[in-house]
Chain A
Amino acid sequence: MMQGGLAGAVFGLIQRDLLLTWRRRADIATTLLFFVIVATLFPLGVGPEPAVLRTIAPGVLWIAALLSCFLSLGRLFATDYQDGTLEQMLLTPHPLAALVLGKIAAHWLVSGLPVVVLSPLIGLQFGLSGGAIAILTFSLLLGTPTLSLVGSIGAALTLGIRGGNLLSALLVLPLFIPVLIFGAGAVASSESGMGAEGHLSLLGACVVLAIPFAPWATAAALRIAVE
């Protein structure tokens, strides 16, 4: 707790956000339940035909993960903005992008990771084979950090705007498309015997691109929002 410097600040911030989420555990439960319910609605809407369900399962799980990520993104900076801790964050001697990366990491740990852990169960419900479930879970593990990273840009841009959460979805969902395509495509291409390596490495490339770029854009957006 007494660590100084940038690492201390970033890990302190992650620790603080995790503690805050722990005090508001119901929020994680809401996100997870939302994920499960959205995924459950598809078989009810499309019909219980196993072959159809198996085909749409990767896409459905990815879209459910994407939407539930959005549900929690609204809270990423909103409370900090309201209570003034965001101003304090901007007035530290540390680079803002690093602190933002810390907040995104905390967000992923409480909203992305649980979805990844839960996805094999939903995959079973959709009748996916063991191999497909493994690839799907791995693609979510690789892809959900990008969702948190890119989503943070939208959350920061719409901070303090009326209806900002909805607007943020409109702004950022188009940017999520590559992740959705590579993520859901990984399972499909492995089922068709082409192997999932190509899609998975593209997902990895997305995350590698997003880690340096997204926090930087988010930091710029936060400075603009707080002015």
Chain B
Amino acid sequence: MLDIHDLSCHRGDRKLFGQVSVSVPVGRLLSIEGSNGSGKTTLLRAICGLTPPDQGTIRWHGRSITEQRETFTSGLIYIGHRIGLKDDLTPMENIQAAMQMSGHPVTTALARAALEAIGVEPVCYRLPTRVLSEGQQRRVALARLWCSDQPLWVLDEPFTALDARSSQLLRERLQRQVERGGIVVAATHQAIGLDPSTVQQLRLGE
């Protein structure tokens, strides 16, 4: 379970949010909402441990994430605003390189299956990622969610640039992650459309 206690973050002089406290039990999706500039991305980065907060603590299964960086990060997938794909690598190479670096190496077959699952057309597999459209690139990045079984997913605007079919595929994947006892934290503009009993909401900037 993910415990956020009394979290505050500044950017320069501006206070983004203060005293955010929320506790997410396993099998839930935490949807972070708020207008542009309300600090959604900063909150997500703080949850991952990328941006240390000014105040407050984040606990994963009862222990502060800074005390258990290794355990925490090995169970984490973060897909940020910058999606972490190398322009000059093919989608297959990108997925394999990313998974290898995060300590969960995958076979070519598994990477291919993941790309198929999010609906990346097979013709793209051998092209450098830079020639793909933005929606295709985002799908390649999201394919990591089909590759392994990390319990915590932190996603920044995962539905951006996705067409209706891919959005539906992603929604089903998120639902499955939640059903098998994982936790998803996602920043979104719109409602995600999962089973309402598994969704928790947090509004920033009020």
Contact = CB atoms under 8 A, between A and B. Distances in A.
B83 A2 contact: no
A89 B84 CA distance: 10
B87 interface: yes
Give the dominant DSSP class at A's interface. helix
A192 interface: no
B119 interface: no
Interface string A23-40: 110000000000000000
A13 B103 CA distance: 11
Contacts of B102: 9, 88, 91-93
B173 interface: no
A87 B128 CA distance: 21
Interface in B57-105: 69-71, 73-74, 76, 78, 80-89, 93, 96-98, 100-105
Contact of B100 (A9, A79, A91): A9
A82 B100 CA distance: 20
A89 B73 contact: no
B105 A12 contact: yes
Contacts of A20: 86, 88-89
Nearest to B108: A1
Given A1-B100, A20-B88, A92-B73, A87 B82 contact: yes
A1 B71 CA distance: 23
A92 B87 CA distance: 21
Contacts of A9: 100-103
Interface residues of B, number: 34
Interface in A48-99: 79, 82-85, 87-94, 99
Contact of A24 (B52, B78, B88): B88
B168 interface: no
A225 to B, nearest CB: 11
B86 A91 contact: no
Interface stretch (B18-26, B43-51, B184-192): B43-51
B89 A93 contact: no
Contacts of A8: 100, 103, 105
Contacts of A79: 86-87
A91 B48 contact: yes
A91 B50 contact: yes
B201 interface: no
Interface string A114-130: 00000000000000000
B70 A93 contact: yes
Most buried by A among B71, B96, B103: B103
B107 interface: yes
Nearest to B71: A93
Contacts of B76: 91
Contact of B85 (A5, A24, A83): A83
A20 B129 CA distance: 12
Given A16-B101, A88-B84, 13 more contacts: A1-B100, A3-B105, A9-B101, A13-B97, A16-B86, A16-B97, A19-B89, A20-B88, A20-B89, A23-B88, A84-B85, A92-B103, A227-B51
17 contacts: A2-B105, A2-B107, A4-B103, A8-B105, A12-B101, A16-B93, A24-B88, A83-B84, A87-B80, A88-B78, A88-B102, A89-B101, A90-B50, A91-B78, A93-B69, A99-B101, A227-B52
Interface of A: 1-5, 8-9, 12-13, 16, 19-20, 23-24, 79, 82-85, 87-94, 99, 226-227
